[in-house]
Amino acid sequence: MAESGRAINSSQTEIHRRPSIISSNTPKPDLNIDENNQAESSEAPLISNNNENDDDDLKKSIHSTTKKFITPTIIQLIFCILGWYVFSLTISLYNKWMFDKSKLNLPFPILITSFHQLLLSILSFITIKLKPSIRPNQPIPSSSTYEEIEENQQQNQNENQKFDWKFYLVHILPCAMASSGDIGSGNMSFRFISLTTYTMVKSSSIAFVLLFGVLFKLEKFSLNLLGIVLLMSFGVMLMVDNDKGQTSDSDSGSNHFYLGFGLVLMSSCMSGLRWVFTQLLLHKNQQQKGKKNPIVTIYQLSPSMFLVLFLIGLGIEGMSNFINASIWSERGILKTLILLLFPGFLVFFMTIFEFAILQRAQVITLSIAGILKELLTILVSSIIFKDRLTFINFIGLLITLFDIFWYNYYRYLERIRKEEEETRERNRIELENV
């Protein structure tokens, strides 16, 4: 029994000793290697995830920036500028083709322009009737009662039925006469000079804008204004140098060229005067709680412009000559009417697009777009009508474009200064009322 007990104890002891023997003889796994492998394997997906997150953040940032820049307003603005370009460029090309002696050769630019104004008055009248919100003297407070709204509408109707002769003679008629001189002289010049020369000389209108602005005390005289005017004059002199032989009618001679140059220069002068009268008219409309809207301005001016141009056309071109012109028999009455009135529709829609640009952007945007439009007009004219620029003309064009940029930058600074003065004045009044 004792021997068997010792045997059992020895066997149990041997059994208990085996794990320690096994554990001592069995090589231990390299935990450091496993830990490093586990660390590497765990860090790898983290790094890749971080790279993916960075890429996603970059894509989101680019998408967000693009989304902020390409807004519906920006898309609408681009569309309006393109529409303005199309209609404005088409008007210039069409008028040049219609009045040029070597093209359609219609010798009635003043009478035809008067019919355009008659069409504009009809279109603006229809637009105001279809959209009464742009009609002058229409704003009514939103908090008004039904009786107040009806009373205001009746009062506005009575005011509209009264014809203000003083307002017409002081504001409407001078603006209409200046506008008639601008458009009529410009269209007459197409018979004697190229579209490129017309575009370059017409850009000098900003010099007349500043000059008449100072005379009518809408502008304050400064050295900047004087520099802009002088530089513009020098640029125009270079632009028209040696252009006598590049007119559309090559045998018209220098006399016809200088006649056309004088007409477009008169058009630029009348354009500056028109700007002054238009500013006074818009200011008067604003005082009368009217809408600062070019459709309303067309509605107010076009009937008088039609009358002024029509009377001048009768005296210079003659109604009998217009009625007996060969185009009526060659192209037919309906087709001739379409050819004559088509530019009127172009002018109306160009005005709408121009107003749409001003509703969605600042004036400086329209000014810069106008500079690009003039360059585009010169480019297209050189392609279609084979107009050419000499080296001196090109230098003059560059000087004029620089002067236009200078003018627009001056306008921008003046607007900023005026807004700051108005803000300071408003803050001062608010502090005094506290």
For 411-430, the pLDDT digits (tens) are: 888 888 888 888 888 888 88
Please report whether residue 37 resides in a domain.
no
SS3 letters for 161-180? Answer: HCCCHHHHHHHHHHHHHHHH
Q: Is the pTM of this model over 0.85?
A: no
Specify the 3-state DSSP secondary structure of 106.
coil
The confidence band for 32, taking pLDDT boundaries of 50, 70 and 90, is: very low
- How far apart, in whole angstroms, are the C-alpha atoms of residue 236 and residue 261? 11
Burial 16-25 (b: 16+ CB within 10 A, else e): eeeeeeeeee
Please report whether residue 306 resides in a domain.
yes
In this structure, the number of other CB atoms found within 10 A of the CB of residue 189 comes to 27
Fill in the DSSP letter of residue 193.
S
In this structure, the number of other CB atoms found within 10 A of the CB of residue 253 comes to 13
Are the CB atoms for 109 and 326 separated by under 8 Å? no
Are the CB atoms for 264 and 197 separated by under 8 Å? yes
- Which domain range does residue 358 map to? 73-138+164-428
- How far apart, in whole angstroms, are the C-alpha atoms of residue 434 and residue 425? 14
Please report whether residue 417 resides in a domain.
yes
Q: pLDDT tens for residues 89-137?
A: 999 999 999 999 889 999 999 999 999 999 999 999 999 999 877 766 5
Sign of the Cα pseudo-torsion (99, 102, 106, 108, in order) = positive
In this structure, the number of other CB atoms found within 10 A of the CB of residue 215 comes to 13
Tokens of 168: 């017409």
pLDDT higher than 60, residue 376: yes
Q: What is the dihedral of CA 380, 381, 385, 388, to 10 degrees?
A: -110
Burial 297-314 (b: 16+ CB within 10 A, else e): bbbbbbbbbbbbbbebbe
Polymer length of the chain:
434
Return all residues near 77 (Cβ < 8 A) that are at least 6 apart. Answer: 357, 360, 361, 365
Amino acid at 300: Q
The pLDDT of residue 409 is 86
Are the CB atoms for 342 and 94 separated by under 8 Å? yes
The pLDDT of residue 52 is 57
Sign of the Cα pseudo-torsion (133, 134, 138, 143, in order) = positive
For the ranges 33-42, 97-106, 232-241, 350-359, the lowest mean pLDDT is seen at 33-42
Please report whether residue 151 resides in a domain.
no
Are the CB atoms for 263 and 192 separated by under 8 Å? yes
The confidence band for 339, taking pLDDT boundaries of 50, 70 and 90, is: very high
In this structure, the number of other CB atoms found within 10 A of the CB of residue 91 comes to 19
Tokens of 54: 């960075």
Please report whether residue 60 resides in a domain.
no
The pLDDT of residue 350 is 92
Mean pLDDT in residue range 165-173: 86
- How far apart, in whole angstroms, are the C-alpha atoms of residue 308 and residue 294? 20
The pLDDT of residue 393 is 86
- How far apart, in whole angstroms, are the C-alpha atoms of residue 213 and residue 196? 27
Please report whether residue 10 resides in a domain.
no
The DSSP secondary structure of 302-344, one letter per residue, reads HHHHHHHHHHHHHHHT-HHHHHT-THHHHH-HHHHHHHHHHHH
Mean pLDDT in residue range 352-373: 80
pLDDT higher than 50, residue 22: no
For the ranges 53-67, 101-115, 125-139, 292-306, the lowest mean pLDDT is seen at 53-67
For the ranges 205-209, 227-231, 287-291, 382-386, the lowest mean pLDDT is seen at 287-291
pLDDT higher than 90, residue 140: no
Please report whether residue 13 resides in a domain.
no
Hey, what long-range contacts does 67-70 have (CB within 8 A, 24 or more apart)?
none
> In the predicted model, what is the mean pLDDT of the chain?
78
Specify the 3-state DSSP secondary structure of 150.
helix
- The number of folded domains in the chain is 1
For the ranges 46-60, 109-123, 145-159, 179-193, the lowest mean pLDDT is seen at 145-159
The confidence band for 324, taking pLDDT boundaries of 50, 70 and 90, is: very high
The pLDDT of residue 17 is 44
- How far apart, in whole angstroms, are the C-alpha atoms of residue 353 and residue 79? 9
Q: Which residue has the higher pLDDT, 321 or 291?
A: 321
Q: What is the dihedral of CA 268, 270, 272, 276, to 10 degrees?
A: -170
Are the CB atoms for 261 and 193 separated by under 8 Å? yes
**HSE-CB for 348 with a 13 A CA cutoff:** 20
The confidence band for 158, taking pLDDT boundaries of 50, 70 and 90, is: low
Are the CB atoms for 138 and 132 separated by under 8 Å? yes
Q: pLDDT tens for residues 198-223?
A: 998 998 888 898 899 889 888 888 88
